[in-house]
């Protein structure tokens, strides 16, 4: 049962990472597994067996979430954007209590509150940034592969940092659509056993994936260092990022054609997301 729970939470993280405006890091915080996953990543080699045992179910869940649910999410966002977004807002807010409990109220001061405000404002500002052209695909060259490596590092950093949407950052940089299309095209080519069609997606995703791995380790080390030395300041900054996420999501959501019925459905999906977050966080990973 614990294994299934971990895979389900991994799927939620994976799905969150491909939705512009939603943060995989926020989902980790909401489900009470953020500190555990950061520790396993930063101690992967020194505590290899224990770390792999913890990380593998989440990794499997993330892969399933990204590959299996990408098409479903595209359909839901195209046809029911507000109810879909409110489900993720419910997931975010439903997991706030464990994070609030980590803030030492006795150590709150002007600096801690200032960090909360600064990071809250940063995410809202990013959400109001205008759309950038995202091509359907990329022309692969050595220079482009180096850029994809850097994009992978940036994306992984924002995936780990709660409140910062890696997919939204990629969208603002013009790389969200080609990366998502490469995943979809590679999946289709694999199922069709079309080896020629696999080449371009692989050349796109391989340097990006290497960058993701490098970025995850680097940022996880930084976050672990901050949590060890400045826990109150770090958690206040994280709170600013997490609490700003619902605001950023609604800013970027397509609310055209919203009816009273859709609002009612959205309230239901919010409640489902909120309850799911509390349920998933109930038995956090050790």
Write down the pLDDT at residue 94: 79
Contact call for residues 209 and 152 (beta carbons, < 8 A): yes
Q: Which domain holds residue 194?
A: 2-282
Q: How many whole angstroms separate alpha carbon 46 and alpha carbon 40?
A: 9
pLDDT in tens, 192-236: 888 888 888 899 889 998 998 888 888 888 888 888 888 888 889
The total number of residues written for the chain in this structure: 286
DSSP state of 106: G
Mean pLDDT, to the nearest integer, of 63-68? 78
Instruction: With CA atoms as reference, report the closest residue to 85 among 168, 16, 134.
Output: 16
How deeply is 31 buried, as exposed, middle or buried, from its count of CB atoms within 10 A (0-12, 13-18, 19+)? buried
Write down the pLDDT at residue 184: 80
The yes-or-no verdict on residue 286 having pLDDT over 70 is no
Write down the pLDDT at residue 114: 94
Q: How many whole angstroms separate alpha carbon 28 and alpha carbon 22?
A: 12
Q: How many whole angstroms separate alpha carbon 128 and alpha carbon 80?
A: 22
User: How much is the mean pLDDT over the chain?
Assistant: 81
The yes-or-no verdict on residue 168 having pLDDT over 70 is no
Percent of the chain predicted with pLDDT > 90? 12
Q: How many whole angstroms separate alpha carbon 100 and alpha carbon 242?
A: 11
- Total domain count, the chain: 1
Contact call for residues 161 and 204 (beta carbons, < 8 A): no
pLDDT in tens, 78-136: 788 889 888 888 877 877 777 777 787 788 899 999 999 998 998 788 777 655 556 76
Contact call for residues 270 and 90 (beta carbons, < 8 A): yes
Which range is most confident: 53-62, 100-109, 165-174, 253-262?
53-62
Write down the pLDDT at residue 131: 57
The yes-or-no verdict on residue 21 having pLDDT over 70 is no
Cα 52 off chain centre by: 21
Contact call for residues 36 and 86 (beta carbons, < 8 A): no
Radius of gyration for the chain, computed over Cα atoms and rounded to the nearest angstrom: 19
Write down the pLDDT at residue 267: 95
pLDDT in tens, 26-63: 778 777 788 888 889 888 888 898 999 999 999 898 88
CA separation, residue 68 to residues 14, 62, 193 (Å): 10, 10, 18
Instruction: With CA atoms as reference, report the closest residue to 162 among 270, 250, 34, 277.
Output: 34
Q: How many whole angstroms separate alpha carbon 190 and alpha carbon 2?
A: 31
Q: How many whole angstroms separate alpha carbon 236 and alpha carbon 246?
A: 17
Q: How many whole angstroms separate alpha carbon 85 and alpha carbon 267?
A: 11
Give residue 160's pLDDT band: very low, low, confident or very high (50, 70, 90): confident
Q: How many whole angstroms separate alpha carbon 251 and alpha carbon 245?
A: 10
Mean pLDDT, to the nearest integer, of 260-270? 93
The two tokens of residue 64 are 């399933």
The yes-or-no verdict on residue 284 having pLDDT over 60 is no
Mean pLDDT, to the nearest integer, of 136-152? 85
The two tokens of residue 208 are 């990006």
pTM assigned to the model: 0.64
């Amino acid at each position: 049962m614990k294994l299934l729970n971990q895979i389900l939470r991994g799927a939620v993280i994976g799905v969150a990472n491909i939705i512009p405006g939603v943060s995989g890091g926020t989902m980790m915080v909401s489900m009470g597994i953020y500190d555990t996953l950061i520790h396993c990543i930063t101690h992967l080699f020194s505590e290899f067996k224990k770390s792999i045992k913890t990380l593998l179910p989440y990794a499997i869940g993330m892969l399933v979430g990204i590959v299996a649910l990408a098409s479903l999410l595209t359909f839901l966002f195209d046809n029911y954007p507000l109810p879909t977004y409110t489900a993720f807002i419910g997931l975010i807010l439903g997991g706030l209590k464990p994070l609030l409990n980590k803030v030492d109220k006795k150590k709150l001061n002007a600096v801690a509150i200032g960090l909360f405000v600064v990071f809250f404002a940063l995410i809202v500002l990013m959400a109001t940034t205008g759309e950038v052209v995202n091509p359907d695909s990329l022309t692969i060259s050595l220079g482009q592969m180096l850029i994809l490596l850097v994009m992978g590092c940036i994306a992984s950093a924002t995936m780990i940092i709660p409140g910062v949407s890696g997919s939204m950052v990629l969208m603002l940089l013009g790389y969200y659509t080609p990366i998502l299309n490469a995943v979809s095209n590679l999946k289709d080519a694999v199922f069709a056993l079309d080896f020629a069609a696999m080449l371009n997606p692989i050349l796109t995703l391989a340097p990006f994936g290497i960058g993701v791995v490098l970025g995850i380790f680097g940022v996880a080390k930084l976050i672990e260092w901050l949590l060890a030395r400045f826990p109150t300041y770090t958690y206040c900054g994280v709170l600013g990022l997490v609490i700003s996420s619902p605001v950023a999501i609604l800013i970027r959501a397509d609310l055209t054609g919203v009816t009273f019925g859709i609002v009612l459905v959205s309230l239901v999906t919010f409640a489902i997301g909120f309850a799911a977050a509390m349920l998933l966080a109930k038995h956090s990973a050790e």
